[in-house]
Amino acid sequence: MPLPFELLATDLASAARRGRILCAHGPIETPAFMSVGTRASVTGLDLRDLTAVGTQVVLGNTYHLMLRPGVEQFERIGGIHNYMGYHGPVLTDSGGYQIFSLADDRTVNEKGARFRSYVDQRYHLLSPERSIAVQTAIGSDIMMVLDVCIDSRSNPSEIRAAMDRTHRWALRSLAARENPQQALFAIAQGGLNPAWRRESVEFLAQHPFDGFAVGGLAVGDTRTEREAVTGSTAELLPASHPRYLMGVGTPVDLLIAVGAGVDLFDCILPTHFAWQGTAFTSQGRVKIRRQSHAARDTPLDPACRCHTCQHYSRSYLHHLLKCGEPLGYRLLSLHNLTYYNDLMARARQAIENGTYARFAATTLEQIDGYEHNLRPELA
């Protein structure tokens, strides 16, 4: 049964679209940012926090969850929703990117990827079929096919071979799916080659996948290259299905990709940067560890509704981080995820109003200077 996807509105001056995905555990209002819950936990946050920051979807990591707590645990307790007590939609990746990151400790052939576990040092084979079996046990609403993710700077023959194998693995993943209530997304590859990206989309769109993702970006490419590939690939993907840009990225990346017609996003940046002491704000990034914040008794972002901005000052956050207090990282994570989710909520409203292009241009002007190091005073 196809994953229900409603197209509710489109922008007048861009390809941005407002939609709704109807998952087994509830709707996803799109465009949407997914909170990354690598090990069935969004770092430092509990279920009340996820509600407060506006989380619609949690993304689980198949590679890590397969190794710990393991498939048997999910089968015993009835899936990830019961395990973590979260009953909203969950998307699981396939493990492809994690296999890519193990360059010195894995081998890949047509069967799958063989690697050594960091938990117990035993070897595992992650095949398309095994990836689907693990995701089935996890019980995610949306599963991803196992793909071959390689650096965008790889030589053309390697990129072409990875794309072709991704196509073969996608069909094996599709054949391995057992539960029709769990949606399955395919992943378009092809590096930075527009012709190969088109070929990838055309091949995958022939088959009954529930959604399509743009993969293989933010792994060696520049921002300009990433934007070009995202835009050209998104317009090729079926308009009737959800579109997902994997592992990207900054608020700027999201705004531009929404304008290209992308519906779903994930990235570790909101929590990862929080644990480095960096906050995303309506005026750009703020590095709260810097001494310039030690006596600033103002919120991180006066325009933000989050618990952190409503109750704590920059000077207090600076103090917490300098002392290494875990509360500081948690408060920054709360803020960053609220910022990302509110940015997507504002984008949805702008699309409904038919004003997304203007909204994006205005917002980019406010925050994009920092991305190009033009406004160091904000740091």
Q: Which residues are catalytic?
A: 93, 266
Three-state secondary structure call for residue 91: strand
The span from the CA of 372 to the CA of 162, in Å, is 33
Number of H helices, E strands in the chain: 15, 16
The span from the CA of 109 to the CA of 229, in Å, is 27
Task: Classify strands 211-214 and 183-188 as parallel, antiparallel or unpaired.
Answer: parallel
Q: What radius of gyration, in Å, describes the C-alpha atoms of the chain?
A: 20
The span from the CA of 159 to the CA of 197, in Å, is 11
Contact 46, 108 (CB under 8 A): no
Nearest Cα neighbor of 340 from 260, 261, 267 is 267
Distances (CA, A) of 74 to 102, 121, 260: 25, 21, 37
Amino acid, single-letter form, for residue 21: I
377, with CB counted inside 10 A (0-12, 13-18, 19+), is exposed
Nearest Cα neighbor of 201 from 210, 214, 185, 191 is 214
Q: How many CB atoms lie within 10 A of CB 376?
A: 9
Q: How many CB atoms lie within 10 A of CB 113?
A: 23
Nearest Cα neighbor of 108 from 93, 126, 81 is 126
